[in-house]
Amino acid sequence: MSMTNEARTACYIGIGANLGDARDQVERAIARIGELPSSSLTAQSSLFRTAPMDAGGDDYINAVVKLETSLTASALLDHLQAIEQDFGRERPYVNAPRTMDLDLLLYGQSTIRSDKLTVPHPRMTQRAFVLIPLLQIDPFIQIPGKGAAHSFVPAVAGQAIQKI
């Protein structure tokens, strides 16, 4: 099937899980993201093991993927939340352990602030588990309104992260 000349936006999605077989769940979530309509998965980071932040529980498995999509940011968020639900995501409290966490980190060069969605993701510059896999995909990526992503790495240098 050939694609028409529909406009596509480069998006970056953070993926994390620390309940159940987290590695398998992250790999399956990446596959699901790759099946989204009007979208193509164009890059994915390695998988990384990280300690939970501001919470207890098992280590997380994290990754970042790049998706080229003609979906609106809101529609993409709806799809990502549906995938989380399919993985049994519950939100009993802030930073609770989770079977699946999908965060829309960047939607092109857009800055979005609504009740439903904030892009760029408000804490992405404070999290090694976002920055390191993001920079693995695109070492020169710019975060709208904030600057070069790599400039935030020194501030997260104390956060344990291990490529697996």
Active site residues: 89, 98, 101, 103
- Helical packing angle, 73-86 and 22-34, nearest 10°: 140
Q: Which of 122, 108, 128, 123 is nearest to 45 (CA)?
A: 128
Residues 6+ apart with CB under 8 A from 90: 96, 98, 99
Q: How many CA atoms lie within 13 A of 6 on its CB side?
A: 15
| The amino acid at 150 | H
**CA distances in angstroms from 87 to 26, 54, 62, 162, listed in the order given:** 10, 23, 15, 24
Torsion on CA atoms 35, 136, 14, 124, rounded to nearest 10: -150
State how far the alpha carbon of 92 is from the alpha carbons of 14, 72, 89, 97, in Å: 21, 28, 10, 9
